[in-house]
Homo-oligomer: A and B are copies of this chain.
């Protein structure tokens, strides 16, 4: 627990799933339905700071969430990233990308490419994500 660290002191979003080492939260970003973050519970800065077993456990969740998001939303491409320049507490972004999304094909942190509304059906599908993640991680 690091004083002033946002991800030590708050969940960082609505929690969809958790275990002893990490939590999966929904990111409130209307342009990107199904956008999740997988957040390490303890404070660590880099993947290189984790022991191999902890690293593998965290990545197993990241890849399960990737698969659940893809299955649930039917993405054109999945984007995964661990950046943390502003909040250096390990967390993974898991984002479903579509040809018609706001930034495609640039990364979501780049310049917007268009301003078309998100299909309502995509947002509706994202509501099934918590169940899809739980199902993936139960097996």
Instruction: Using CB atoms and an 8 Å cutoff, list the residues of chain A in contact with chain B.
Output: 45-48, 55-56, 59, 63, 66-67, 70, 76-86, 88, 97, 104-107, 109-111
Question: Is B85 touching A82 in the complex (CB atoms < 8 A)?
Answer: no
Q: How many copies does the complex hold?
A: 2
Cα distance, A70 to B83, chains bound together (Å) = 14
Q: Which residues of B contact A77 (CB under 8 A)?
A: 45-46, 83-85, 88
| Chain B residue nearest to A67 in the complex (CB) | B48
Cα distance, A85 to B81, chains bound together (Å) = 13
* A67 vs chain B, min Cβ distance (A): 4
Given contacts A109-B109, A110-B109, A110-B110, contact A63 B47 (CB under 8 A): yes
| Chain B residue nearest to A64 in the complex (CB) | B48
Question: Is A63 touching B85 in the complex (CB atoms < 8 A)?
Answer: no
Question: Is B79 touching A83 in the complex (CB atoms < 8 A)?
Answer: yes
Q: Which residues of B contact A106 (CB under 8 A)?
A: 85, 109
Question: Is A70 touching B82 in the complex (CB atoms < 8 A)?
Answer: no
